[in-house]
Amino acid sequence: MDNEIIKPSYIKNPDYITGKKDEAEAYNFTCLTFEETLQLNYKRQIENSWTGKGPNLSEEEYLQLRQHYHIGVANKSKEGGFPVFDKIICKTCNAEYFTYIGIDEPLNSMYQIQVQGIMRNASKNVDKL
Ligand SMILES: [Zn+2]
């Protein structure tokens, strides 16, 4: 099974733009186990951009993700923004998903977000019916 739901790309339109494309609060994706809808909340990613990661992501996971996605010392996301990582856990089956977004602030308090990666944590067992 391919655990990567979204793979990074250079050319991509923002999924979220403050004031323009912010009707949707979250990026929806489907859990690979029972096809539940999971949500990557944009505002939470903006809050996480201070540290570059969500609070439930361990330092070790953070470093592994940076390595997996080839984030270098310049700390640039694939499309040129600032990389922010998070972990989303499916409440139904306990599957874990690592998320990677690129965030840009072209104007003060105006944010652009590009969802660059969503990947299931293959080392975590999920609950089955
Ligand atoms: Zn699930």
What is the structure's pLDDT at 129?
A: 64
Q: Of 98, 110, 19, nearest to 65 (Cα)?
A: 98
- Residue 82 CA to residue 68 CA, distance in Å, equals 16
Q: Of 121, 120, 117, nearest to 78 (Cα)?
A: 117
Q: How far is the CA of 86 from the centre of ligand 1 (A)?
A: 17
- Residue 42 CA to residue 48 CA, distance in Å, equals 10
Strand-pairing partners, residue 97, are 88, 120
- Cβ(95)–Cβ(125) below 8 Å: no
Q: How far is the CA of 20 from the centre of ligand 1 (A)?
A: 31
| pLDDT tens-digit map of 36-55 | 999 999 999 999 999 999 99
Q: How far is the CA of 112 from the centre of ligand 1 (A)?
A: 28
Q: What is the mean pLDDT of the chain?
A: 93
* Residue 123 pLDDT grade (very low, low, confident, very high; cuts 50, 70, 90): confident
Q: What CA dihedral angle connects 3, 43, 78 and 28, to 10 degrees?
A: 30
What is the structure's pLDDT at 1?
A: 53
* Residue 93 pLDDT grade (very low, low, confident, very high; cuts 50, 70, 90): very high
The domain locations on the chain are 4-120
Q: How far is the CA of 118 from the centre of ligand 1 (A)?
A: 14
Q: How far is the CA of 96 from the centre of ligand 1 (A)?
A: 8
| pLDDT tens-digit map of 68-91 | 999 999 999 988 899 999 999 999
Whether residue 18 has pLDDT greater than 60: yes
